[in-house]
Amino acid sequence: MDMDKCEDELQERFRGCMLGAVLGDCLGGPLEFKNGNNSFPFSRLKREFRLYDAWEPERDGVLEFTDDTAMARQLAYSLLETRTHLDPRNLARRFVDEYHREQGRGYGEAVTEVFEKLHKSDCRDPYGPAKEQFKTEGSFGNGAAMRVHPVAMFCHGRSRTELLEMADASARITHSHQLGVRGAQLQAYAVSMALDGVDSKAFLANMLELVESFSEDPKSKHTYRYKFEIMRKALATKNDDLAIALGNGVAALHSVPSAIFSFLRAQSPIEQLRDSSRFVRTVQLAISFGGDTDTIGSMAGAMAGAYYGEVDVPENFLDVCEGVYDAIKQADGLVKLVRENLDSDVSEPIVKRIKIEVQEIEVKPDINPELLKPEPEDIKPDVIKSELKPSASKSKEDVVEPDSALDNDTTDSAIDIKHNIVK
CB of 24 to Mg ion, least distance (A): 10
Q: How far is the CB of 294 from Mg ion (least distance, A)?
A: 4
Q: Minimum Å distance from CB 143 to Mg ion? A: 8
With contacts defined by CB under 5 A, name the span among 103-111, 167-175, 271-279, 407-415 that binds Mg ion: 103-111
Sequence-separated contacts (24+) of 390-393 with Cβ below 8 Å: 390/363, 390/365
| Out of 12, 67, 137, 310, the residue judged to bind Mg ion by CB under 5 A | 67
3 state DSSP class of 57: helix
223 is in an annotated binding site: no
Alpha helices for 289-323 (secondary structure H): 293-308, 317-320
Q: Please tell me the distance from the alpha carbon of residue 66 to that of residue 237, in angstroms, as a whole number.
A: 34
293 annotated binding-site participant = no
In the complex with Mg ion, the residue whose CB is nearer, 264 or 299, is 299
Cβ 155 vs Cβ 76: under 8 Å = no
101, burial (CB in 10 Å: exposed 0-12, middle 13-18, buried 19+): exposed
Q: How far is the CB of 195 from Mg ion (least distance, A)?
A: 23
Applying CB under 5 A, the site for Mg ion has a residue count of 5
- Is 125 marked as a binding-site residue? no
Q: Is 292 annotated as a binding residue?
A: yes
Structural contact between residues 26 and 48, judged by C-beta atoms closer than 8 angstroms? no
Name the residue nearer to Mg ion (CB basis): 126 or 297. Answer: 297
If one asks whether residue 420 binds Mg ion (CB under 5 A), the answer comes out as no
Q: Report the nearest approach of Mg ion to the CB of residue 33 (Å).
A: 11
CA distance 46 to 44: 5
Strands of 204-258, DSSP E: none
| 68 sits near Mg ion (criterion: CB under 5 A) | yes
Q: According to DSSP H, which parts of 66-148 are helical?
A: 67-82, 88-101, 109-120, 128-136
Quick one: which of 11, 39, 66, 276 contacts Mg ion (CB under 5 A)? Answer: 66
Considering the complex, state which of residue 128 and residue 143 has its C-beta at the smaller distance from Mg ion: 143
Residue 282 labeled ligand binder? no
Closest to Mg ion by CB, 220 or 295: 295
Contact 76, 334 (CB under 8 A): yes
Annotation-wise, does 294 bind a ligand?
Answer: yes
108 binds Mg ion (CB under 5 A): no
| Long-range interactions of 3-6: CB distance < 8 A, separation 24+ | 3/325, 3/328, 6/309, 6/310
What is the closest distance, in whole angstroms, from the C-beta atom of residue 146 to Mg ion in the complex? 7
What one-character DSSP code corresponds to residue 389?
S
**Residue 106 within binding range of Mg ion, rule CB under 5 A:** yes
Query: Does 168 sit near Mg ion (CB under 5 A)?
Result: no
CA angle, residues 230, 48, 258, in degrees to nearest 5: 15
CA angle (150, 152, 158) in 5-degree steps: 130
Closest distance to Mg ion from the beta carbon of 359 (Å): 36
Q: Which stretch binds Mg ion (CB under 5 A): 65-73, 120-128, 258-266, 410-418?
A: 65-73
**Residue 386, SS3?**
helix
Task: Determine if 294 is a binding residue for Mg ion (CB under 5 A).
Answer: yes
Contact 263, 149 (CB under 8 A): no
Q: What are the binding residues for Mg(2+)?
A: 66-68, 292, 294-295
Residues that bind Mg ion (CB under 5 A): 66-68, 106, 294
Q: What are the binding residues?
A: 66-68, 292, 294-295
